[in-house]
Chain A
Amino acid sequence: MSNFSVEFKNVTKKFGESTVLHDLNFGIHDGKITTILGFSGAGKTTLMKHILGLVDPTEGEVIVNGTVINQLGELELREFRRNFGMVFQYAALFNFLTSFENMAFPLREFTKLSEKEISEKVLGLLDSVGIGRDAAYKLPSELSGGMRKRVGLARGLALDPHVMLYDEPTSGLDPITTHMVYDLMKETHQRNLNRGFSSIIISHDIHATLKYSDYILFMEKGRVVEHSDTETFRKSENPIIRRFLEL
């Protein structure tokens, strides 16, 4: 059994004439926090969409927990996506549902839990991400950016996923809230480690990345420039990475 939660084997992605990902080969370590770092347009989001099976590679294989997901049929893939939790850049909470309903949504859709059990689970999730009971019955439009991210994280955790993805989770947040969100991500990761849990973060924030990540995968123009543990990355002599580190 591989100790990678996600593996890319010879993955190339083309949109028409333009090649967005070039022959990617790497594995994301199981049980670790890996940050995918890079400038805008480096291919980070396309890479994340491959992990989620939202986009198929033109060539190659994307393997998640031992399953080649680009070979799954539409319905199998939808089933498989329950292995993932996702926190979106601006949380992407359903604007017609309260925080509580947002968190209960995946449980109502995919489990046979009773309303009482769902309520207990949601209240547990609220506590785990530090949301007070008063915020639970507010609509997303009534919450601050930081609170929305917490609700988004709680919703992502509702189905006990094995891989948690964060798409630029601190965009638009002030520095203090940014670190609070990173602390929360780290705590969440450690709390779930015993059941096989990997965190993948897409970020621009080099300082937070160095502080919180176990591994860093640096992308530039659709290629992986560096994939190493944080300490090795810090010492990289690659000029592009040096430029990023010196920001």
Chain B
Amino acid sequence: MVQLALKQITNLGNSIIGMVNGLGDFTLFTGKTLFWTFKPPYRLRLLFEQIYFMGNKSIFIIFLTSIFTGAVFAFQIYLGIKAINPDSFIGPVVTIALAKELAPVLSGLVVAGRCGAAMAAQIGTMKVTEQIDALEVMGINGYQYLAVPRILGAMISMPLLSAIFLLVGYTGAWLIATKVLMIDEVLYTQKLSDFMTLGMVAEGLIKAAVFGYLIGIIGTYQGFNVTGGAEGVGKGTNMAVVWGMITVLVVDFFLTSFLAQIL
């Protein structure tokens, strides 16, 4: 009995030590990537490649996600409040929700799934096949060459994708509201301009940029910490997606509270 209790305490202690070590590693990694972000040479070609991969190549999936999110959200709002004259509310409610929450968060989840995984897999494969060592031996810093362009790329792409999400989601909601639910077009738009502010759009874009940074840093960190061959790459990729998504959802809560005070 005592032995079992001791074993449990030891396991708990080891888990806590492991978590603290992991947090320390992650903090060091963040510090190093920040340091190398501001050190020349600035690798603009690599940055544009990443923006192209994360931004341009994600547009289709963002388009699909956003148009259906907007449409279904408009429909659900209508069903939920049809007893109290929904015509005046659907436009503002859907668009404000899209601008402040749905666009940045759902874009974040899509990018965490698609690009966070790709970052961890690409860098992890390079790690286990000694390609990162090869860079280091040549005198090129791996963080600067591999991590910085991906982190900045995600940070720049995310607000752009979020803006596209907002526009397409708005269009989806407008189509459902005005063409299916037969809400007056003028009323829909007029009410929107009464309630919507630029600050709300800014809030969504700021969130998207923060999520982009976090997805980038988590994806690259998992890639750099891959060990043990192909199995390790799979594990790192999985961790990048899981932690990327959890982080987006958790940080969204705190960021919303913070931005509500300053915007």
- Chain A: residues with CB nearer than 8 A to chain B? 52, 54, 78-82, 84, 86, 88-90, 92-95, 105-106, 109-110, 159
The answer, yes or no, to whether B138 is at the interface (CB within 8 Å) is yes
Q: Which of A80, A82, A92, A94 has the most CB of B within 10 A?
A: A92
Which residues of chain A come closer than 8 Å to B141, judged between CB atoms? 78
Pair A84/B137 contact, Cβ less than 8 Å = yes
- Choose one: B125, B133, B140; the contact of A95 (CB below 8 Å): B125
In angstroms, how far is the closest chain A Cβ from the Cβ of B130? 4
In angstroms, how far is the closest chain A Cβ from the Cβ of B182? 53
24 contacting pairs across A/B (C-beta < 8 A)? A54-B133, A54-B137, A78-B140, A78-B141, A79-B139, A81-B138, A82-B138, A82-B139, A84-B137, A88-B130, A89-B130, A90-B129, A92-B130, A92-B133, A94-B126, A94-B131, A94-B134, A95-B125, A105-B138, A106-B138, A109-B138, A109-B140, A110-B139, A159-B138
Q: CB-CB contacts of B111-145 with A at 8 A, as 1s and 0s?
A: 00000000000000110011101101111110000
Which residues of chain B come closer than 8 Å to A81, judged between CB atoms? 136-139
Which residues of chain A come closer than 8 Å to B134, judged between CB atoms? 86, 88, 92-94
Which residues of chain B come closer than 8 Å to A94, judged between CB atoms? 126, 131, 134
Query: Top 9 closest A-B pairs, CB basis?
Result: A92-B130, A78-B139, A81-B139, A92-B134, A86-B137, A88-B130, A92-B131, A82-B139, A106-B138
Which residues of chain B come closer than 8 Å to A109, judged between CB atoms? 138, 140
Q: CB-CB contacts of B80-106 with A at 8 A, as 1s and 0s?
A: 000000000000000000000000000
Pair A52/B137 contact, Cβ less than 8 Å = yes
In angstroms, how far is the closest chain B Cβ from the Cβ of A69? 12
Which residues of chain B come closer than 8 Å to A82, judged between CB atoms? 138-139
Which residues of chain A come closer than 8 Å to B130, judged between CB atoms? 88-90, 92
Pair B140/A54 contact, Cβ less than 8 Å = no
A131 to B133, CA, bound (A): 24
- Choose one: A54, A79, A93, A159; the contact of B136 (CB below 8 Å): A54
Q: Which of B129, B133, B138, B141 has the most CB of A within 10 A?
A: B138
Which residues of chain B come closer than 8 Å to A88, judged between CB atoms? 130, 133-134
Which residues of chain B come closer than 8 Å to A54, judged between CB atoms? 133, 136-137
